[in-house]
Amino acid sequence: MPARLHRTLLAASLGALLCGAAAAQSVGYLLAPAHTKVHWEVRHFGTSTQRGWFADVQGSVRLDRNSGRGDVSVSIATASVSSGVAVLDGMLRGNNFLAATDHPTAYFVATGLRFDGERLAEVRGEFTLRGISRPMALRALNFGCRTDAMLQREVCGGDFEAELRRSEFGSTFGLPFVGDTVRLLIAVEGVRE
């Protein structure tokens, strides 16, 4: 084989090896809709906790446990809010709360991850609701990976918790009887791509 072709092949295969190695560090997961949900909790008249969820949540995650880096992006269809009370759902979609017509999507984008060994402990990022973006840190209450028996693939997931003040996103209706603090509990499972 001529020397020039040999060097080209060597360069190409080294390049492929290096790129392949770097890509293999970062693993992609697609969030499974049946096991991904954003739950919310708000205090009602300082007495009981009103709960609900957003049924339509989609997203993807890339984790690089060696470098402690990754990407997380989650998008929520605000019209998919579900409280168990149909009339309340209608109010929540309205302009006093989610403003779902003008802002059909709320979303979270990560800016930094913190690992505790193999375990994802925290995801810092930005949450956008009603068109307003604010910093948000998702704290892992639990995180783990398993090989799913049915899918025959790695599934990683957990429960993440965060709090926001809805007034900071422009929703002040009902204060203080309907609380300002909204607790988010994000149950998530992602299937390895």
Partner 1 sequence: MYKTLIALAALAAAGLAQAEVSNYSIDPTHTFVTFEAKHFNTSTLRGRFDRKDGAVTLDRAAKSGRAEITIDTSSVNTGVGPLDGHLKSKDFFNVAQSPSISFVGDKFSFEGDKVTAVTGTLTMLGKTLPVTLNASHFNCYNNPLFKREVCGGDFETTIARSQWGMTYGLNFGIPDQVRLLIQIEAVKQ
Torsion of CA 143, 84, 125, 23, to 10 degrees: 50
Q: Decide if 147 contacts 153 (C-beta within 8 A).
A: yes
Choose between 133 and 185: whose C-beta lies nearer to partner 1: 185
Quote the least distance from Cβ 39 to partner 1, whole Å. Answer: 6
CA count, 13 A, side-chain hemisphere, 141:
10
Q: Could you list the residues that contact partner 1 (CB under 8 A)?
A: 34-37, 39, 44-51, 53, 55, 82, 84-85, 87-88, 142, 144-146, 148-149, 155-159, 185, 187-189
Choose between 7 and 146: whose C-beta lies nearer to partner 1: 146
Choose between 20 and 47: whose C-beta lies nearer to partner 1: 47
Quote the least distance from Cβ 155 to partner 1, whole Å. Answer: 7
Quote the least distance from Cβ 130 to partner 1, whole Å. Answer: 22
Quote the least distance from Cβ 37 to partner 1, whole Å. Answer: 6
Q: What is the 3-state secondary structure (H, E, C) of 35-58?
A: HCEEEEEEEECCCEEEEEEECCEE
Choose between 98 and 188: whose C-beta lies nearer to partner 1: 188
Quote the least distance from Cβ 44 to partner 1, whole Å. Answer: 6
Q: What is the DSSP letter of 32?
A: P
Choose between 57 and 169: whose C-beta lies nearer to partner 1: 57
What residues contact residue 114 under an 8 Å CB cut-off, 6+ apart? 68, 120, 121, 122, 123, 124
Helices (H) and strands (E) in the chain, counts: 2, 11
